[in-house]
Amino acid sequence: MINLQKIFEALVFASWQHRLQRRKGNDNIPYINHPIRVASLLTTCNDRQDENLLIAAILHDVLEDTDTSATQLEAMFGKEVTLLVEEVSDDMSLPETVRKQKQIEKAPLLSSQAKQIKIADKICNIQDIVSLSIDWPAERKLEYLAWAKKVVDGCRGVNAALEALFDETFRMAAEKLKKDEIH
């Protein structure tokens, strides 16, 4: 049985930590919508709900995007959640190109829970790149898609429904971006 109180504690905590952040683009969407959508995808694409997976999905960006420490996270949400969040977090002291390559290399080594968070995260990011007013040229967006696919390909074999959703999201996004590039 899922402890809804813990889920809401994670939502409140993540909302506070991300309170000043916005998603990329001109739509000025509060950043917290992103981790909520990632967790929502995981509830939709899983027959059995996993409390720690959902909490980690809600918190998946707090270590890399806020001043939250792993110690603080562990005190509030436990070791398993903290390890999952650490597993999907980038080392922000590294250059972006190195971080992106490390995600590709690390993907096959992730736990099944971390792989699911990664896949859901990439689905949401691709959806945002296509639907939000992000001022990237179509070429950069297509490069993101190609990179995200490499990461997700390393995560396959953990959740058929989530992987199928990624494939459909990827296909639709690639088609739309290629049309945009032509026009």
Catalytic residues: 64-65
Would you tell me how many other CB atoms lie within 10 Å of the CB of residue 92? 10
Q: Is 131 helix (H, G, I), strand (E, B) or coil?
A: helix
3-state helix, strand, coil in the chain (%, to 5): 70, 0, 30
CA distances from 33 to 11, 14, 78, 171 (A): 10, 10, 23, 23
Would you tell me how many other CB atoms lie within 10 Å of the CB of residue 93? 7
Would you tell me how many other CB atoms lie within 10 Å of the CB of residue 19? 11
Total H helices, total E strands in the chain: 10, 0
Give the position of tokens 């991300």: 18
